[in-house]
Amino acid sequence: MATYKIAVLPGDGIGQEVIPEALKILQVVGKGAGVGFEFEQGLVGGAAIDETGDPLPEATFRLCEASRAILFGAVGGPKWEDAPHERRPERGLLRLRKELDLFANLRPAKCFPMLVDASPLRRSVVEGTDLMVIRELTGGLYFGEPRGVERMADGSAHAVNTMAYTSREIERVARVAFDVARKRRKRLASVDKANVLVVSQLWREVVTRVGQDYPDVELEHVLVDNCAMALVARPTRFDTIVTENTFGDILSDEAAILAGSMGMLPSASLGGRTALYEPVHGTAPDIAGKGIANPIAAILSVAMLLRYSLDMAGDAERVETAVLRVLEKGYRTADIRQDGTSPVGTGEMGDLIARELSALYS
């Protein structure tokens, strides 16, 4: 029997509540598909700072390196907000992404039919939305050099950040995007600002060249300002989107509102040997400890883990179907509740999905 080692890093706040539900689901998959999962927990974020002083202790990093995939919760919270830069919880996640070379961040935004009314946008706009934003994660404006602030004697100042990409960095994320688009509806929109930025001109040149290796995928180039408008005006026109770090940061959050709630959105960060899967949401201090967080984002992250790290697409689909069926039956956590329905808690939602999933294997 194949056995996969999974690093489990719940982190802080509701990370501690939703990850156990995701593990319940993996256990059902293991039984149903006849594979073994070996879960090993690691400390990260605020929990790791409290125990070791470091948001990413060496032991956690070694565990991640030695695992097939990482299941991550969320990090941060008011307790650590005033900590110095290097000792802030999110440094743990940023270091992990950088050191594991996780350069491609995949964020699906799908509007579930029964949750259309949970979106702040009109039904006619969001209905049928099913898109994937692929954001370059380790380059561009957030990492480019030089950067810094120069303060003058007269009290004025000058600050600089640099948007920089090499053709190699663009090519590798473009290949991930074409591969993903090929498994979806074979349409890829590459988003840039090529009418103004030379970095974007290189981006467009390289993506076009890589596209020649994928003649079955239809490629279009879209300017970022146009894309931002189209995402809220006609999101169904998109299937797969690929873009650089900063544009992707903004566009993927914009796309998130199409799905109705943060509690529904999974993500994957790919690139190096070990990929990382996490819900898009944070630690939600306002509801942490109450047992009411929606575990679906974490559970759908498990589906992504199965699809992208273990090549178990059929099992990933079963997990997604189980989620859909539970929602179809009318069960809702508080964040996606409709008028008049009484919500289920985190553990109950996890149990319902696990039960539905077991039935799909029998």
Residues of this chain that interact with ligand NAD (CB under 6 A) are 14, 18, 74-77, 90, 93, 262-263, 278, 281-287, 293-294, 297, 335
Active site residue 216: no
Gap between the Cα atoms of 352 and 341, Å rounded: 16
Phi, psi of 90 (to 5 degrees): -70, -15
Query: Rounded CA gap, 229 and 237, in Å?
Result: 12
3-state secondary structure 166-225: CHHHHHHHHHHHHHHHHHCCCEEEEEECCCCCHHHHHHHHHHHHHHCCCCCCEEEEEEHH
Which residues are 85's β-sheet partners?
A: none
Q: Which is nearer to ligand NAD, 192 or 249 (CB)?
A: 249
Does the annotation count 329 as an active-site position? no
Query: In this complex, which beta carbon is closest to ligand NAD, that of residue 77 or of residue 108?
Result: 77
Is 331 an annotated catalytic residue?
A: no
Q: Which residue is nearest to ligand NAD (CB)?
A: 282
Which residue in 54, 192, 193, 315 is the catalytic one? Answer: 193
Of 214, 202, 211, 145, nearest to 170 by C-alpha is 202
ω into 113 cis (within 30 of 0): no
Collapsing DSSP states into helix, strand and coil, what is residue 121?
Answer: coil
- CB nearer to ligand NAD: give 207 or 276: 276
CB of 25: closest distance to ligand NAD in angstroms?
A: 15
Q: Is 179 a catalytic residue?
A: no
Min. distance of Cβ 92 from ligand NAD in angstroms?
9
d(CA 59, CA 42): 8
CA distance 296 to 118: 15
| CA 235 – CA 128 distance, rounded (Å) | 9
Tell the smallest beta-carbon distance from residue 17 to ligand NAD (Å): 8
Minimum CB–partner distance for residue 10 and ligand NAD (Å): 11
> Catalytic site residue 213?
no
Smallest gap, in angstroms, from Cβ of residue 73 to ligand NAD? 7
Tokens linked to 80: 């650590």
Marked catalytic residue, from 50, 117, 213, 225: 225
**DSSP conformational letter for 343:** P
User: How many CA atoms within 13 Å lie on the side-chain side of 214?
Assistant: 23
- In sequence order, the β-bridge partners of residue 41 are 8
In whole angstroms, the minimum distance from the beta carbon of 338 to ligand NAD comes to 15
Pick between residue 200 and residue 294 the one whose CB is nearest to ligand NAD. Answer: 294
Catalytic residue (choose from 12, 54, 192, 249): 249
Q: Please pick, among 31, 253, 351, 361, the residue that the annotation labels catalytic.
A: 253
Q: How far is the CB of 196 from ligand NAD (least distance, A)?
A: 30
Of 239 and 278, which has the nearer Cβ to ligand NAD?
278
Alpha helices in the chain (DSSP H): 15-33, 45-52, 58-65, 89-99, 123-126, 167-183, 198-211, 224-233, 245-256, 296-308, 313-328, 346-361
Which of the residues 5, 31, 79, 142 is marked catalytic? 142
Select 192 or 335, whichever has its Cβ closest to ligand NAD: 335
Closer residue to ligand NAD, CB minimum distance, 57 or 211: 57
Both structure tokens of 7: 């690093």
Q: What is the dihedral of CA 248, 254, 258, 260, to 10 degrees?
A: 110
Q: Which sequence positions are flagged as catalytic?
A: 142, 193, 225, 249, 253
